[in-house]
Structure 1
Amino acid sequence: MPDDVEPRDLDKVARGELKTLSKENADWVAKHLVMAGRLIDEDPEEAHKHALSAGRRAGRISVVRETIAITAYQVGDYALTLRELRTYRRISGRDDQLPLMVDSERGLGRPERALELGRSVDVSTLDAQVRVSLAIAMSGARLDLGQPQAALGELEIPQLDRTKAFSYSPALFAAYGTVLEDLGRPDEGEKWLELADRAEDALAALEHGGDDGETVEIVEEDVDVSDERPAGLDDVGVGALQELGDVEPEPREGVDDLNGPEQGPDEQHDEEQGQHDETADPETAPQGTDHVDDHRG
């Protein structure tokens, strides 16, 4: 453990969850969670070890189980990811990690089960960011099954709005463009991929300070995206979809007027309950198989 690691470096909300532990134990667990966060990108294997260490002393704390799951996902242990996230859902009562569960089912080569799991929750109860991540994961599962048209339909949700950029917009636009290319519509796909790049640039500019600190005006040439409703929604089987209706995302880091008039395609989704809940020691969990790359959550 590096000398510069302090328990107070942990997120305030996460620290609050550790208050049920003794101070000594809470500080010990907090340091390991801090290290897991530091190392998750550069050394996921080491980050996972820190998460497991935290789990040995605080296995009933939801943020600990969540951290184990996230680091397990990063090292490709999708079976452990699923097991830990089932426990996390039971302890916390939250569905915010459902997209990661769906993507882990894909990583285990079970796209049908991934779709069933994605249908197990009413998506209207999810935050916009989670809803987008779930749509991308569900779309990837459709691609795994060789259903590109259905994959496109999974992405046609209210958040697919090319007039605004939120933190989730670049990934959603890029996924939509990729599926269009898979459908043999490269010109349309290229426009959405270009729009994804523009949204990312706009958000980066916002992060570094826009004109008013909240929005960034796009001054470069508009991307020529059709004003029509994105194709493909009506072609997806009715049995595979659930009507969401008009649901607007809560503004986060909004960037208005990316290009063209406002548009918000409807989303439709499938639902199901996930598998049984397991709470075995994380270190005894089976290892997952190689992950499928399409639309990784």
Structure 2
Amino acid sequence: MSLPKGLAEEVSRNLVMVARLIDEDPEQSYAYARIALRLASRVAAVREAAGFAAYATQKYSEALAEFRAAKRMTGSVELWPVMADCERGLGRPERALAMAGEPEVQKLDKAGQVEMRLVAAGARRDMGELDAAIVTLQSPELASHSVQPWTARLRYAYADALLAAGREDEAREWFAKTIEADKDGATDASDRLAELDGVEFVDAAAMDDADLDDEPDEIDEDDDQDDAEVAAAERASDQAEYYDEDDDEYEPVPDSDSDVDVTDEIVVIEDDEPRDERDEREDRDKA
């Protein structure tokens, strides 16, 4: 379906934002998808984008409806595996398994068939059928030594199923094989393998901060000595400013840290002559 130029540009801008944000901010991606859907709900690409945005935010019922609409518009079976996975998300693993046996699966390309196998194995695990899940994943694609876009995810799912079944040695082997194929680090296979080997990762930055916090505060004795010398020099300067060493009354200012107790001496001069007699004598002297 063709759209007017202005509308087509507006829809395209929103679809670009859907694709850009779907991994880092699914909710915002979903918001852009709703705008595009409101503008052009009869465009298959818009319905598909809206489906993936809803799927990323775990709105599985809405995602399934959008995928079905896109499939009707295009006639393509490309979305069949993700539609089956929506059934799993809705708590209906048996429907996902039923879809894995439908003729549409035979029309999928190799990547689609591997994806369908992953969904079917997940449905088996949802139903508690671990051994069946392991068997479902065993395939020529799993045994192949060539690395394809789906190889890392397929090997990882197999290793995880083996570990869940208690087959730890085999799980370790397949996690290691996953790492070989996972050049982009799309899985956490390296962490899972390290965990199995008993390796514990430590945050080096956090350890450095902890070491700094544990270090005792160092006391610099030289600094204390320097402070004492400065204080003594200041007292000597004050003494030189207010006293003349040639003056008979000069006395050094005692160190405040010494044991000398400096007190002011108050001299009281007492006169034994009564005040009245002294006044009469002064009057006679004046006469």
> Scaled by the length of structure 2, what TM-score is found?
0.62
Aligned residue for 1:164, secondary structure, equals coil
Rounded Cα–Cα distance in structure 2 between residues aligned with 1:203 and 1:158: 23
- Name the structure 2 match of 1:192: 174
The 3 A distance-change label for structure 1 pair 196 and 182 is: same
- Name the structure 2 match of 1:171: 153
1:147-188 deviation line (CA, Å, top 9, x unaligned): 111111221222113411111000000001111122221111
* Aligned ranges 1:95-114 → 2 under 5 Å: 95-114=77-96
| Same amino acid, percent of matched pairs | 38
Rounded Cα–Cα distance in structure 2 between residues aligned with 1:141 and 1:109: 9
The one-letter code matched in structure 1 to 2:33 is A
Give the root-mean-square deviation of aligned CA atoms.
Answer: 1.7
1:160 aligns with 2:142: yes
The one-letter code matched in structure 2 to 1:192 is W
Q: Is the 8 A contact 1:99 1:137 kept in 2?
A: yes
The 3 A distance-change label for structure 1 pair 124 and 157 is: farther
* Aligned ranges 1:1-297 → 2 under 5 Å: 20-201=2-183
Rounded Cα–Cα distance in structure 1 between residues aligned with 2:73 and 2:140: 31
Rounded Cα–Cα distance in structure 2 between residues aligned with 1:157 and 1:86: 29
The one-letter code matched in structure 2 to 1:165 is V
Instruction: Please state how far the C-alpha of 1:122 moved relative to its aligned partner.
Output: 4.1
- Name the structure 2 match of 1:219: none
The one-letter code matched in structure 2 to 1:87 is A
Structure label with greater radius of gyration? 2
Rounded Cα–Cα distance in structure 1 between residues aligned with 2:113 and 2:183: 23
Aligned residue for 1:20, secondary structure, equals coil
Instruction: Please state how far the C-alpha of 1:202 moved relative to its aligned partner.
Output: 8.4
| Richer in helix (by share) | 2
Structure 2: give runs of 5+ residues left out of the alignment. Answer: 187-287
The one-letter code matched in structure 2 to 1:47 is S
- Name the structure 2 match of 1:221: none
Q: Is the 8 A contact 2:33 2:49 kept in 1?
A: yes
Rounded Cα–Cα distance in structure 2 between residues aligned with 1:81 and 1:120: 20
Rounded Cα–Cα distance in structure 1 between residues aligned with 2:26 and 2:104: 32
Instruction: Please state how far the C-alpha of 1:119 moved relative to its aligned partner.
Output: 2.0
The one-letter code matched in structure 2 to 1:42 is E
The one-letter code matched in structure 1 to 2:83 is M
Number of residues of Structure 1 aligned to a counterpart in Structure 2: 186
Instruction: Please state how far the C-alpha of 1:29 moved relative to its aligned partner.
Output: 0.4
Q: RCO (CA 8 Å, sep 6+): is it higher in 1 or 2?
A: 1
Aligned residue for 1:41, secondary structure, equals coil
Rounded Cα–Cα distance in structure 2 between residues aligned with 1:198 and 1:22: 49
The one-letter code matched in structure 2 to 1:115 is L
The one-letter code matched in structure 1 to 2:138 is E
Instruction: Please state how far the C-alpha of 1:28 moved relative to its aligned partner.
Output: 0.7
Rounded Cα–Cα distance in structure 1 between residues aligned with 2:141 and 2:106: 12
Q: Is the 8 A contact 2:77 2:107 kept in 1?
A: no
The 3 A distance-change label for structure 1 pair 203 and 108 is: closer
The 3 A distance-change label for structure 1 pair 42 and 116 is: same
Structure 1: give runs of 5+ residues left out of the alignment. Answer: 1-18, 205-297
> Scaled by the length of structure 1, what TM-score is found?
0.60
